[in-house]
A and B are shown apart, each in its own frame.
Chain A
Amino acid sequence: MKNMAVKIMGLALVAAAAASIGWTADPDRIVVMNPQGIKPEIRKIPMAARPASLDGKTVYIVDTKYPNTKPFVEELHAALKAKYPATTWVLKDKFGGYMDDDPNLWKEIKAKAAGAIVLVGH
């Protein structure tokens, strides 16, 4: 009985090892390598705490300047001012093209604003 158990365990180990080096029970099956690269770990960014109210606060509307979208941005600015007059809505163009970073603007927003809307593209 004990001998049988040992043999069964041995065979199971052999099967596992064989599979790991590409041998399979079915001779028609083969093992190939993974063509994909390594995906990065995703670091979670905590969202910024929201203020209890936006009344009396400033919110920046940042236009990333995707071509020919100014009418939408300007209409949004006007609509927010009309609907939420207790909040100051500041319309700002981001520096450069829509792919360019604008650290100075982010610093300004951090110093002066309680929130930011970033838009839009396409």
Chain B
Amino acid sequence: MKSRFAVFVAGILALAAAGGLKPAAAQENSSTKPAAVGSRVRSMVELGSVYSNIYDIAVTVIETVRGPAALERLRAADRDNPAPRAGMEYILARVRFELKGRAVSDTLTFSLGESPLEWVALSEDLTEYERVPVKVPAPPLAGVVKPGGSIEGWVAFAVAEKDPKPVMVFDPDTGGATGRGRTLFFKLY
């Protein structure tokens, strides 16, 4: 009796796991569910100033470098790159940004790196860190991406040394007609 009951419970639980408990969407990216390093996050942006068209994008944080190693790379890029403020350290993130149009007539481009709000680091409690005026190692995460193309490059942040789980935000909705879409979140750890 006991064992049959246990089997019954296990069966129901298995059914539940297979059916009602599956995630709503594969790309459930949010501030509480940032994507892991190496995870390719698919999303969309609108390009065009009035009646815009939807383009598909994918963003991947390929690798991160933190602390003294990051400072070393920054100094190699430009020896005038300053040391971080006391209590802070640098994180470098190498990011790939891909753009794809949906129709042959989708020829608009996406400009990366024009807005300081586009790539921002957040602390574990989602407070924004200030931007750091450093020259990143080549190639920078900046430039014009054409449909079917991609750009891979570095972006730099300064985070608190004691912050174990900083998060990077990609916000395409930083004004104007450059490209508006969903804010995406990525682990920098």
CB of B49 within 8 A of CB of A101, answer yes
| Cβ contacts under 8 Å, A14 to chain B | 8-9, 12-13
CB proximity to A under 8 Å, residues B166-189:
169, 171, 173, 175-177, 182-183
A9–chain B nearest beta-carbon distance, Å: 9
A50–chain B nearest beta-carbon distance, Å: 20
C-alpha gap A11/B155 in the complex (Å): 53
C-alpha gap A16/B31 in the complex (Å): 28
The interface size bin for chain B is: 20 to 34
| Cβ contacts under 8 Å, A38 to chain B | 25, 182
CB of B9 within 8 A of CB of A3, answer no
Tell me what chain A mostly uses at the interface: helix, strand, loop, or mixed: helix
Count of A interface residues, CB-CB < 8 Å: 20
Name A41's contact: one of B2, B31, B49 (CB within 8 Å).
B31
Name B16's contact: one of A7, A17, A40, A103 (CB within 8 Å).
A17
| Cβ contacts under 8 Å, B182 to chain A | 38, 40
Query: Contacts A17-B12, A17-B13, A20-B21: A10 and B6 contacting too (C-beta < 8 A)?
Result: yes
Interface residues of A (CB under 8 A from B): 3, 7, 10, 13-14, 16-22, 38, 40-41, 43, 99-101, 103
Interface residues of B (CB under 8 A from A): 2, 5-6, 8-9, 12-13, 15-16, 19-21, 25, 30-31, 49-50, 169, 171, 173, 175-177, 182-183
